[in-house]
Amino acid sequence: MWSLSVAHSHSSCISALPTSPAPTVSIQYPRVLLVLRFSIYTRFLRMEKGGRSRINCIFENLVTFLRRCIFYVLSVGPFPYHIAFIMDGNRRYAKKQNFMEGNGHSVGFLALLSMLKYCYELGVKYVTIYAFSIDNFKRQPEEVQSLMDLMQLKIEGLIKEESIANCYGVRVHFIGNLKLLSEPVRLAAERAMLATANNSKAVLSVCVAYTSTNEIVRAVQKSCEQKWEEISILDASGSGYGLTEVVLSEKDEGENLINLIDIEKHMYMAVAPDPDILIRTSGETRLSNFLLWQTAYCSLYSPYVLWPEIGFRHFLWAILNFQQNHFYLEKRRKQL
């Protein structure tokens, strides 16, 4: 290095002389630049991520706004009070996508959450889903156990504060012969029903260990037991005037001691009115032993998509189909 020095001699002059190297402070510029560059890059990524999050949030809010505008227009026409779903095609979807067996049901649960959100945003009071049939117990034990585990996990999620049940004020009922369920699933179902008992804005009926024939047979049995108990009590008190013998006599063959109301009040589905719309995916038009008693005058819609593929457009078309046929179905209903 070179420095300026002053020489004190007869003639003072300034000259540039070489000097010994002075001690220098070693500053590691490459590391500083690397840290600075990394800091700027990280901040840029955060800004980019935050920007994307804000864009996604704006987009989701816009979609929600447009969807609610559509629902507002639909509400001008006939309005479905109760929608039922047969969630068909989960296993075929898993096979189609080369998923592991059982993963199709996990994806199907996400589709269910979307359908529930659409229903409650539209203002549908009652929703019923066919989650597990009694006949499904005939499947392979490994598959049944996998479904039970998934069901327990999703049922326990209904109790959480941020769950769809609490967000929309939904009371949950589990419909069917719950004794057939494994103990952990049954207890989880009971906890969910207890936890949502005070919710009153909407009702979700989950049919598990259910078939319609089982429901009807049970309702008839309960009706007969109740009627026989009422007659026996009256007879024992002396105010029955021998009704037990009258019931068994041939003279009373033409009289109905058990009527339609007696049976319907003992049905599992007494917690909800008859459905206005029944949606079954996969293009199937079979009811598969689901709500046979309740769907005599119900609008049926069977899109060809598998259940995990169902979307808003299918839900919208089901509502439009119901509105188109509503007056005809109401006319037939009133003819009863």
Is 88 part of the annotated catalytic residue set?
Answer: yes
Question: By C-alpha distance, which of 323, 275, 270, 329 is closest to 86?
Answer: 275
Under 8 Å between Cβ of 307 and 129 = no
Helix or strand holding residue 45 (H, E): helix 29-74
Distance of alpha carbon 129 from alpha carbon 294, whole angstroms: 14
SS3 16: strand
Q: What is the DSSP string of 160-172?
A: STTSHHHHTTEEE
The burial class, CB within 10 Å (0-12 / 13-18 / 19+), for 25 is: exposed
- Catalytic one among 88, 135, 252, 274? 88
* Residue with token string 């459905």: 275
- Residue 45 CB coordination number (10 Å): 10
Report residue 255 as tokens. Answer: 């009289």
Residues ≥6 apart with Cβ < 8 Å to 19:
1, 2, 3, 5
Is residue 220 within 8 Å of 263, Cβ to Cβ? Answer: yes
What are the catalytic residues? 88
